[in-house]
Amino acid sequence: MSELSYAAHVWKLSFRISETGKGELCIVDLTAFIESRDWKALPGDAPLVASLLSILLSLLAMRHSVKEGVDYLEQEVLAATLTQIEKIQVRIRW
């Protein structure tokens, strides 16, 4: 899957979180997606970082309505985002 495909898929999951009333189901789907990727193996990609930050924003916004899984998923999304930012920084230095 290309970086653009990852970004599009992540964005779609983020949209599902923010637009549907089924937050718990989206949390489970998104957690499975985030955990299944080796974020260090992907090249740094700005659209992917933007999509991950969009998910993080959606998670923070729905924190009051979804009780389970949000804290863990926030940590995983933040870790994936930081990994991608580090990859971008390394590319810029070269």
Interval 59-83: pLDDT, tens = 787 777 777 778 888 899 899 999 9
Q: Please report, for residues 26, 32, 87, the alpha-carbon distance to residue 50 in angstroms, rounded to integers and kept in the order given.
A: 19, 20, 14
* Per-residue model confidence (pLDDT) at position 82: 92
Residue, of 14 and 79, whose pLDDT is higher: 79
**Alpha carbons 58 and 81: distance in angstroms, whole number:** 14
pLDDT of residue 29: 77
Q: Which residues of 49-66 are buried (b: 16+ CB within 10 A; e: fewer)?
A: bebbbbbbebbeeeeeeb
Please check whether residue 89 is in contact with residue 46, taking contact to mean a CB–CB distance below 8 angstroms: no
pLDDT for the residue 23: 62
As for how many domains the chain has, the answer is 1
What whole-number distance in Å separates Cα of residue 49 and Cα of residue 84?
Answer: 6
| Domain interval for residue 46 | 3-93
